[in-house]
Amino acid sequence: MASNRSMNHLRIGTAGWSIPKQYLDVPPQGTHLNRYSQIFNCAEINSSFYRSHRLSTWAKWADSVPEDFQFSVKAPKAITHDAKLACEPAQLQIFLAEANTLAQRLGPILFQLPPSSAFNPAVAKAFFARLRDLHQGAIVFEPRHSTWFVSEADYLLNSFSISRVAADPARVPAAAQAAGWSQLLYCRLHGSPHTYYSAYPESYLRSLAAAIAAHKTRETWCVFDNTASGAAFGDAQILQRLLSAA
């Protein structure tokens, strides 16, 4: 890796921790998460978007991985999609209490907004202030409406130390680039051209590896979300190899 970053500051993984059957080099013993965590140093928990989990489940996940492993956690759709950030404080408190059960294994909290959710400065500022009152850790946002990709939104995100996701495929050209707080780069790769299914060509992964190696930031996460066909696992391994050799 580039000299300004240690491997502890680079995290590559997938959404969830499913292991396709064709990957025979994965350790055969243990749960899927045990085995997965011997290959990658992070995973994105997406199930939290759909439902709440018992605190014992979060604790079990934390106890199943090595000390240097971290999870990012996707915020519930009740907050991002139903309430469109204008949620009740209790909704946010309950979710954060669950996620914080991961303790030292907790990485960024991810808020993915629906494509229909336009940038409302007043609502966003109120939500960010409430969120920061409750949580001081890393936060990343993945907006998908074109109105979010303006300097006013970037300034607001940065003022609350919130990073904007660099996404592929990008719904608008600016969505491919990170913005907001610059000390955390969080890439979400959904698969292209067939979202959630397509594997990435090695030429794309080589370009991505070069961009990551050149990006000056405190921490970098790269999460492959093209899991529907099992492509995410292989793409993550290739990127891992490319960056290890950089």
Q: In this structure, what token pair is assigned to residue 187?
A: 């890439």
The one-letter code for the residue type at 170 is: A
Q: What is the largest CA-CA distance in the chain?
A: 51
Distance CA 203, CA 168 (A): 15
Asked if pLDDT for residue 113 goes beyond 60, the answer is yes
Distance CA 83, CA 88 (A): 8
Asked if pLDDT for residue 110 goes beyond 90, the answer is yes
CATH number at 9-245: 3.20.20.410
- Over residues 64-109, the pLDDT tens digits come to 999 999 999 999 999 999 999 999 999 999 999 999 999 999 999 9
Length of the chain: 246
Neighbour tally for 89: CB within 10 Å: 11
Residue 4: predicted pLDDT:
36
Band of pLDDT at residue 23, cut at 50, 70 and 90: confident
Contacts of 25 (CB under 8 A, 6+ apart): none
Neighbour tally for 111: CB within 10 Å: 22
